[in-house]
Amino acid sequence: MTVAGLARALRTGELSPLEAVERALARVRALDGRLNAFVAVRAEEALREAELAARAPERGPLWGVPLAVKDVLDVAGTATAAGSRILAGNVAAEDSEAVARLRRAGAIVVGKLNTHEFAYGPTTTSEHFGRACNPWALDRVCGGSSGGSGAAVAARLVPGALGTDTAGSIRIPAAFCGVTGVRPSTGLVPTRGMTPLSWSVDTIGPMARDAADCALLLGVLAGRDFTADARPRELTVGVVESLFEGDLDPRIAAAARSAVDALREAGAAVRGVELPHLDRAGVVQQALQFPEATAIHLDWLRTSLADYGADVRGRLLAGLFVPATAYVTALRVRGVIAAGFDEAAAGVDCLAAPTLPVVAPRFEDGKVVFDPGGGSPALAENLFRQSLLRYTAPWSLVGRPVVSVPCGFVDGLPVGLSLVGRRFGEAAALRAAAAFQRVTDWHEREPPLAA
Amino acid sequence: MTEVPSVGELRAAAARQGIEPDEAELAAVREFLAVFLPAVESLGELLPEGAPGPAPLPPE
């Protein structure tokens, strides 16, 4: 059941909050042993909160709906480990602002979801909490860093979840797991109570089955109405042509093209757009993110270096050596790129591009299988990250909102289409996503494991 | 052109910050920097003459 459907069933009394929570917990018990999406289940607390909800005088839009949140968001009384050994036992004193807003709307948090260590990586292969698996193929990664959120929603353990997205961490698992995810405009949703990765670019957003659910959840998170009206007319979609060419799986490009065709047939105006400096955005993003992340972790690098997983430790060490002049240049270039995008996409309500250029990679012998490309394993991993960043970083860098929707399958694995709004233009991107999902059913496909 | 620091230089710079990575980690960092630093340096060419200084993203 979707978030909206479940909320409706709860309001009409078809289901009680206790029954809704019990069902979610039963799904987690039955399936999470194979997925490892959850790092903590708040079973007793959630059941108690469900009983209290039944007696609550005020019933918000998410009244009684069981949700789960990525383990970088504080939930009062529950540990926030952020996928790391360093934060083991770090019990939160109060809710993060995002969680507080969900709870004020009536939602019940049933658990914390697996993440790449400190949200700093795209695979959710934590050395400390184990790998979260892709529900469509358990030997594949589920993406990251909000991998547990993607896996939990795809496997229907919960109808919706929160993730965080700095350089792609909601969109990558959304695409790899076949769910809908929203990276909101930078600054739209307060990040208080989130374990930060990079202050300039961090965001918190929803992951759910469809755009209507994401609109409902984002509305609660942002304190406004993002009702996803599924009328594509009066929408102009700009196709980012260069991201349909070059170094991506041609079958993914074809699926994304078909998705754009579906939007056109549904009534949207579609035109090609060429964005300047698109291929430089990933480097600019990293020149901001690397030193910011390292600054956040500096004390722990001194005292607990060995406690980081090897990949995250490597990235944090690299951040020590990004010159301050590079950081300043990156901030200045961000303005140039944002202005260039705005000018090239003037008159366009949302941009369209494949969310990612590849399907979820395999995990074998304790490692993600990256194409070695002639370099060391560390360099191969970096090249994989760069290929993802080419698709996700441009929108993070300029603070634009992105809705990733499932748009097909390649080798039995889901692929996604990104609909990128203007800054604070979530409504148009969600409207395009809802219009697309009205004429397609990719978002309704379930992995066999979930059936 | 930015010269990529040697492993020894990286070790000394990390030590000045009170951080002590091992040789293999520093070698991997150096491998990354060899690709990353020239790419970052080339960003300057995107700045038009008189481009403004750093600014936050525009508010809503």
Give pTM, 2 decimals. 0.97
The reported pLDDT for the residue numbered A230 is 58
**List of chain A residues whose C-beta atoms are within 8 Å of the C-beta of residue B36:** 283, 286, 318, 322
Catalytic site residue A126? no
A1-42 pLDDT, tens digit each = 999 999 999 999 999 999 999 999 999 999 999 999 999 999
CA-nearest of A276, A412, A260 to A338 is: A276
Hey, where are the domains in chain B? 7-46
Name the residue of chain B whose CA is nearest to A302's CA: B19
The reported pLDDT for the residue numbered A310 is 93
CA-nearest of A225, A277, A249, A219 to A354 is: A249
Catalytic site residue A304? no
Among residues A84, A149, A169, A198, which one is catalytic? A169
Pairing relationship of beta strands A160-165 and A66-70 according to DSSP bridges = parallel
Q: Find the mean pLDDT for residues A317-346.
A: 96
Among residues A126, A145, A404, A418, which one is catalytic? A145
A116-151 pLDDT, tens digit each = 999 999 999 988 999 999 999 999 999 999 999 999
The reported pLDDT for the residue numbered B3 is 86
Contact B51 A335 (CB under 8 A): yes
CB of A363 closer than 8 Å to CB of A141 = yes
Contact A186 B41 (CB under 8 A): no
Q: In terms of pLDDT, which residue wins out, A334 or A126? A: A334
**List of chain B residues whose C-beta atoms are within 8 Å of the C-beta of residue A336:** 46-48, 51
Maximum C-alpha span of chain B: 47
ipTM, two decimals, is: 0.96
Pairing relationship of beta strands A413-421 and A402-410 according to DSSP bridges = antiparallel
Catalytic site residue A96? no
Contact A305 B35 (CB under 8 A): no
CA distance B3 to A378: 21
Amino acid sitting at position A72: V
Contact A375 B31 (CB under 8 A): yes
Percent of chain A with pLDDT over 90: 90
Nearest to A399 among B47, B52, B57 (CB): B57
CATH number assigned to the domain covering A3-450: 3.90.1300.10
Query: Could you tell me where the beta strands, DSSP code E, fall in A84-195?
Result: 108-113, 125-126, 130-131, 133-134, 137-141, 160-165, 180-183
CA distance to partner chain A, nearest, from residue B32 (Å): 7
